[in-house]
A and B are shown apart, each in its own frame.
Chain A
Amino acid sequence: MIPFLIYVAIFVVAFFVVKTIAQRTAISDYGSLKTVTFGDESAVTPNRAASIISILTIFLLWGMFTGSALLPKFLHAPGPFEGTGTFEYTAQAGDQTDTATVTVLVHPIDTPTDAPEVAPGDGWAKDDSTAIGMWRTGLLRVDRNDELGRNDGAVITEINGQAVQPGDSVDVDFGTVTISDKGTPNIQPSKGWQMEPIWLPSPEAVVQRVGEIASQGFRGSTLWEHLGYSLFRVIVGFFFGALVGIPLGYAMGLSNWFRGWFDPIVEFMRPVPPLALIPLVIIWAGIGETGKIILLFLAALWIMAIAARSGVSGVKISKVHAAYSLGASKAQIMRHVIVPNSLPEIFTGARVAMGVCWGTVVAAELVAAEQGAGMMIMVASKFQNTDIVIMGIILIGIIGFGIDMLMRYAEKLLVPWKGKG
């Protein structure tokens, strides 16, 4: 809740700050002279400052709530208590009461520390000490070293002078002490607002993990092998999907018989999510490369077939007529009119298919694989290696984005006439 409120606050504040700065340095281009901008789609352009601040904000919040070393200390959200704290308890056995001090040492979880030595003090209730890891809690049998223990009828009646009963909680200066049903104090040092690394590691921990896995590998394969396997499966699956799908789509766009024969199959298979085919593919082809490639082939096939079919249907009849009356044969019309005219559609289909394939391969690897980006994050999650999981998600995102960018670039380069007919 608090991170979300901070996020909203940054959003609003940044908006006004950027707006003020932008007004001072305003340029009067054509767009800025428009008076009607609300509802004019062409007047809406992404504000680059907003994009940059948006990304920085995500990392800022991430750093703030993980106590990242990349951020100056004053930006950190309050961290968990670390160090030594004390509280007093008063015990009563029969009509005798006595007070003792408990010293609590809260230490980072990955450096086990012994409880500090403390002098027993005077009275029948002796002073105690314990060590608790950050974000953890600890039950402390304070009567263990006392002259009168639980078996002698001793009960804790006060914490820091505040009367307590089993089930009550008392705030002490480093956290909370709760008396359990059996009368044992349960010490809970303050957790602060920061996330524990096993839930959300800090950015630098993730970066460090990338370096580690890139150099040492994970589960017998290097990082590049894992990503390479995923990419290889996508490319091979997509290649075969396109190899079969595009001619199939052309045939469906050009022949009644093909259209009639394959329409039911394509229209039925199109809405089936490729993920739903994973179990069947595993049964038939196992979890090896063949199974994955068959799955991706199926994922790409229908998309490419439909793209090619609509590419053919999109040919303006006047272009075909023109080609015929210029003396072109059927084969020439195919090569010089239908294919180039359908290329923009096929590229759009290819972009969609690559996206779907990338998503499907990760999902398939989550289910079962020896190598791959999906396998990496799945295995890591089983060991609570959250840093690897986050690293994997970021890399999967970057690669997916890269594929899409590459396809767009290729489209621009290869079919500059898209949308110009």
Chain B
Amino acid sequence: MSGLSIQNLSMRFDLPGGGHVQALQDVSLDLKAGELLSVLGPSGCGKTTLLNIVAGFLAPTEGKMILNEHEINGPDAERGMVFQQGALFEWMSVRENVGFGPSMKGMPKREKVEIVDHLLDVVGLQDFKEKAVYELSGGMQQRVALARCLANDPDVILMDEPLGALDALTREKMQSLVLKLWKETGKTIILITHSVEEALLLGERLLVMAPRPGRIHKEYRLPFAEMGVGQDLREVKKNPEFAERREEILGMIWDMEEEIMGRTEAAS
């Protein structure tokens, strides 16, 4: 496996009344197979746009992406996506949701059942497999979403604020689960988040993006994801380096927000 290469990506939306929005400008990134990348930035910095382009839902105005030596154009099973919420199929049971990808491929039933059972074990939902997804709590639903994505055995997993709608406790448990799955499966993961802590915890690499135009502001390499694999995430957070990085990045994002505010005020 040779990883994902994003080359000089730009995205520009023309507005109906003339003018345009530069959602992304010249974003380049190389991701090795098995790397865990978290992307952080104030709203409007184009991080969701970036993810949608990588997923193949949007075509960039410039630049290209190479995955496993071929160019990405359009969505494909090799790039799985986990959404914030509401992307499960409520007309299917938990088992059917997880088995959706294999079913679409026409995988033989026995093989499919094996995969689904295994993944339900991994995410701890074996007892709920015949339930309808709307009967589950928000955290459980996101476990189903993770399992559904993994069932397809994608090369890259794209996560668009997958834990954003969960309460703090559930969120922490799910963060541990994400780390565990990352380590066990060795997948390449790109995770978009609003939370600085989450970005630090779940990022082997961390990308801070800046808005207007959306671009990469700074990149970090962090040890916390490795640390978090084997131990309680609260222990990781106690690490002085963690606190230092958190303050640094928070300050950075504050500055960006203030700059935006200033610009808006000056314009008005």
Which residues of A come within 8 Å of B, CB atoms? 316, 318-319, 321-329, 332, 336-337, 340-341, 343, 415-417, 420-421
Contacts and interface: CB of A to CB of B under 8 A. Distances in A.
B79 interface: yes
Contacts of B83: 318, 321-322
Given A321-B55, A341-B91, A326 B148 contact: yes
B53 to A, nearest CB: 13
Task: Give the most central of A322, A323, A329, A416: most B CB within 10 Å.
Answer: A322
B128 interface: no
B227 interface: no
Given A322-B81, A325-B154, A326-B80, 11 more contacts: A322-B88, A325-B56, A325-B80, A326-B100, A327-B76, A340-B89, A340-B91, A343-B91, A415-B91, A416-B132, A421-B134
Interface in B2-55: 55
Nearest to B90: A417
Task: Give the most central of B81, B88, B91: most A CB within 10 Å.
Answer: B91
**9 A-B pairs closest in CB distance:** A327-B77, A420-B134, A324-B75, A340-B91, A318-B87, A326-B101, A417-B90, A322-B87, A325-B81
Contact of A327 (B57, B91, B152): B152
Contacts of A415: 91
Contacts of A421: 86, 90, 134
B92 to A, nearest CB: 8
A332 B104 CA distance: 7
Given A316-B86, A322-B81, A328 B134 contact: no
Contact of A326 (B56, B90, B91, B104): B104
Interface string B140-152: 0000000011001
24 contacts: A316-B87, A319-B87, A319-B89, A321-B55, A324-B75, A325-B77, A326-B77, A326-B101, A326-B148, A326-B152, A327-B76, A327-B101, A327-B104, A327-B152, A328-B100, A336-B89, A336-B100, A336-B104, A337-B89, A340-B91, A420-B90, A420-B134, A421-B90, A421-B134
Nearest to A343: B91
B104 A321 contact: no
B105 interface: yes
Nearest to B75: A324
Interface in B149-194: 149, 152, 154, 158
Q: How would you classify the secondary structure of chain A's contact residues: helix, strand, loop or mixed?
A: helix
A341 to B, nearest CB: 7
Interface of B: 55-57, 75-77, 79-81, 83-84, 86-91, 100-101, 104-105, 132, 134, 148-149, 152, 154, 158
Contacts of B80: 325-326
A327 B152 CA distance: 8
A319 B76 CA distance: 15
Nearest to A417: B90
Contacts of B88: 319, 322
Contacts of B86: 316, 318-319, 421
Contact of B105 (A325, A327, A343, A416): A327
A135 B152 CA distance: 84
Nearest to B52: A321
A343 B90 CA distance: 12
Given A322-B83, A326-B100, A417 B105 contact: no
A331 to B, nearest CB: 10
Given A319-B89, A417-B132, A420-B134, A325 B75 contact: yes
B158 to A, nearest CB: 8
Contacts of A337: 89
A316 B85 CA distance: 11
B87 A321 contact: yes
Contacts of A416: 132
A325 B76 contact: yes
B103 to A, nearest CB: 8
Contact of A325 (B55, B90, B91, B132): B55
A291 to B, nearest CB: 39
Contacts of B77: 325-327
Contacts of A316: 86-87
Contacts of B101: 326-327
Nearest to A339: B91
Nearest to A318: B87
A321 B132 contact: no
A321 B152 contact: no
Contacts of B81: 321-322, 325
Task: Give the most central of B76, B90, B148: most A CB within 10 Å.
Answer: B90
Contacts of A420: 90, 132, 134
